[in-house]
């Protein structure tokens, strides 16, 4: 199944304020946003795209044949070295994983199909979920499950993982799911492994770290008046985005006089925008999306 884009119309209506401009899609995925951007740009416009997943980049190279388009395999936290002298009109960040990750058992993202316990978005680097779960301490595992998954049973699950691996190393998604199910019983619609899988994926891909880094680098590659659109899928990401773009004046200690001069870098032009009821009905994955939009001053 292909990835269904989230908040497509809403995000591009903000992003594309000059149809002859140079744009950057930092999370290409399967290119649904990118293809729509190219459709709307006039011939003078151009689009650069980035993804850390080599499969996404290959998909882009094979499926988008347009002289205005180019795609790069890179972590978005390295954009300053990729585009040292560019000044973009708009930059899009559609965070998280693609449905294509979840749908491919060989990538190890899903508890619903069996496969190697990998979860890396970029399989050419870093450590897999199995590598980490087989070597981390019980308290490191418990902390990750709690902090990135808000998993209340984090300690029990971490303990069960450590017990399992004294017999044999964890290798597959179903082994991890089974271990979690020994501790947590299914209540309601949500599968007991949902939060743990999310937490481990965030940790393995260092998602929050890379998000903080990329946000700090956007300013230097954005034209004055340029637009940043960020779509987040969980509150940890959204909080980082919201706090990063918070006006400097709101960060000053309360006892500092109001007329203290601060140089603001961005203005918020779209706050906490959510998918419509219609979009959520057609694409339930969109239900947790939140979009924020900023303009460089």
Ligand X SMILES: C[S@@+](CC[C@H](N)C(=O)[O-])C[C@H]1O[C@@H](n2cnc3c(N)ncnc32)[C@H](O)[C@@H]1O
Which chain residues interact with ligand X by CB under 6 A? 3, 5, 27, 29-33, 50-53, 56, 75-77, 94, 96, 98, 121, 210
In the complex with ligand X, the residue whose CB is nearer, 170 or 211, is 211
Instruction: Give the nearer residue to ligand X in terms of CB position, either 161 or 202.
Output: 202
Cα distances (angstroms) measured from residue 19 to each of 33, 54, 83, 144: 15, 29, 20, 43
CB of 233 to ligand X, least distance (A): 7
Closer Cβ to ligand X, 92 or 133, answer by number? 92
Closer to ligand X at the Cβ: 179 or 229? 229
Residue 77 C-beta: closest distance to ligand X, Å: 6
Q: How far is the CB of 19 from ligand X (least distance, A)?
A: 19
What secondary structure does DSSP assign to the chain, as a single string? -PPPPSSHHHHHHHH-S-TTSEEEES--TTSHHHHHHHHHS-TT-EEEEEES-HHHHHHHHHH---TTEEEEE--GGGHHHHSTT--EEEEEEE-S--HHHHH-GGG---TTS--BS---SSTTSS--HHHHHHHS-HHHHHHHHHHHH--TTHHHHHHHHHHHHHHS---BHHHHHHHHHHH----SSS-TTHHHHHHHHHHHTTHHHHHHHHHHHHGGGEEEEEEEEEEESSHHHHHHHHHHTS-HHHHS-TTS-TT------EEEEEEEE---HHHHHH-GGGGG-EEEEEEE-
CB of 75 to ligand X, least distance (A): 4
Question: In the bound complex, what is the minimum distance in angstroms from residue 122's beta carbon to ligand X?
Answer: 7
The minimum distance between CB 205 and ligand X, in angstroms, equals 6
Please identify the residue of the shown chain whose CB is closest to the bound ligand X.
29
Annotate 38-62 with b (16+ C-beta within 10 A) or e (fewer).
beebeeebbbbbbbbbebbbebbee
Minimum CB distance to ligand X, residue 194 (Å): 17
Q: Between 31 and 226, whose beta carbon lies closer to ligand X?
A: 31
Residue whose CB is less far from ligand X, 27 or 142: 27
Q: Which is nearer to ligand X, 53 or 118 (CB)?
A: 53
């Amino acid at each position: 199944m292909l990835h269904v884009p989230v908040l497509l119309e809403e995000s591009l209506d903000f992003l594309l304020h000059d149809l002859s401009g140079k744009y950057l899609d930092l999370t290409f995925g399967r290119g649904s946003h990118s293809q729509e951007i190219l459709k709307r740009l006039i011939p003078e416009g151009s689009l650069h795209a980035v993804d850390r997943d080599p499969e996404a980049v290959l998909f882009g190279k094979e499926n988008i044949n347009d002289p205005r388009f180019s795609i790069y395999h890179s972590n978005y936290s390295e954009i300053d070295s990729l585009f040292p002298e560019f000044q973009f009109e708009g930059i899009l960040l559609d965070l998280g994983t693609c449905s294509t990750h979840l749908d491919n058992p060989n990538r190890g993202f899903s508890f619903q199909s069996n496969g190697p316990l990998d979860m890396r978005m970029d399989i050419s680097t870093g450590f897999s979920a199995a590598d980490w779960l087989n070597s981390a301490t019980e308290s490191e595992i418990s902390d990750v499950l709690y902090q990135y998954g808000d998993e209340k049973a984090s300690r029990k699950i971490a303990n069960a993982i450590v017990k399992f691996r004294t017999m044999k190393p964890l290798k597959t998604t179903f082994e991890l799911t089974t271990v979690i199910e020994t501790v947590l019983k299914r209540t309601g619609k949500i599968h007991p492994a949902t939060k743990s899988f999310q937490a481990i994926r965030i940790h393995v891909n260092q998602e929050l770290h890379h998000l903080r880094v990329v946000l700090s680098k956007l300013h230097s590659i954005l034209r004055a008046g340029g637009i940043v659109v960020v779509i987040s899928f969980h509150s940890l990401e959204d909080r980082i985005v919201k706090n990063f773009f918070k006006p400097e004046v709101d960060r000053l200690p309360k006892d500092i006089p109001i007329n203290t001069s601060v140089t603001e870098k961005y203005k918020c032009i779209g706050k906490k925008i959510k998918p419509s009821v219609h979009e959520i009905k057609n694409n339930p994955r969109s239900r947790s999306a939140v979009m924020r939009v900023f303009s460089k001053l």
